Amino acid sequence: MKFLAKIQDQEIRFELGTGNGSLKASGEHFEGSLDLQRIYPDGVYSLILNHRSHIITVRNNDELNVQVDGVTTPVTLLDEMALQLEAMGWENVNEKRVGHIIAQIPGLVTHIFKSVGDAVTEGDPLLIMEAMKMENELKAPTSGILQALHIKTGETVDKGQLILEIV
């Protein structure tokens, strides 16, 4: 299966296949064998990459964060379907994050019901936004903890702007 990993300012295209119980990876900047074994249920793996051992911690909250040898790096991983959709100009469905709340319309934030650190249940009212002289109540699409609030009362938001994050 083909993948594209976006790591910092680099894009690495690679293909994974199985053989003799291990994975094979090859791409423009990489070719080699790898053995990946989960060693703890909370996202900790042992990776042997070209005969060199690494401990990897994978955190997949709203984005994929990979920690290799103590260094944490955010990674965007696109599979074959996402790559085809991207090539056709379609929005990449893999990059939609349930916990990232994006303004669907421009408007004025008139009231915020929650604060950073508050527990949020799916369906809870989060804020009220006024648009075209109508008040629109934004509800939580998922349960979790309000991790970040990127707006404040009285602020105007643009369509597509990240307004809050739930993890």
- What pLDDT, in 10s, does the model give residues 31-54? 666 777 788 877 787 877 777 887
pLDDT in tens, 106-140: 999 999 999 999 999 888 999 999 988 889 898 88
Contact 124, 140 (CB under 8 A): yes
Residue 151 CB neighbours (<10 A): 18
* List of residues 6+ apart from 125 with CB closer than 8 A: 113, 137, 138, 139, 140
Residue 91 banded pLDDT, cuts 50, 70, 90: low
Q: What is the pLDDT of residues 10-36, one digit of tens each?
A: 777 777 666 555 556 666 666 666 777
Give the whole-angstrom CA distance, residue 111 versus residue 152: 8
The domains located in the chain, with CATH, are 2-95 (3.30.700.30), 100-166 (2.40.50.100)
Torsion region of 88: left, alpha or beta (phi above 0 gives left; psi -120 to 50 gives alpha): alpha
In the chain, what percentage of residues exceed pLDDT 70? 77
The yes-or-no verdict on residue 86 having pLDDT over 50 is: yes
- Taking all residues of the chain, what is their mean pLDDT, rounded to a whole number? 78
pLDDT at residue 89 in the model: 66
Confidence band of 152 (pLDDT split at 50, 70, 90): very high
Strands (E), the chain: 2-7, 10-19, 22-27, 31-40, 44-49, 52-60, 64-68, 71-78, 100-102, 107-112, 119-120, 125-131, 134-139, 144-149, 156-157, 162-166
pLDDT the model gives residue 143: 85
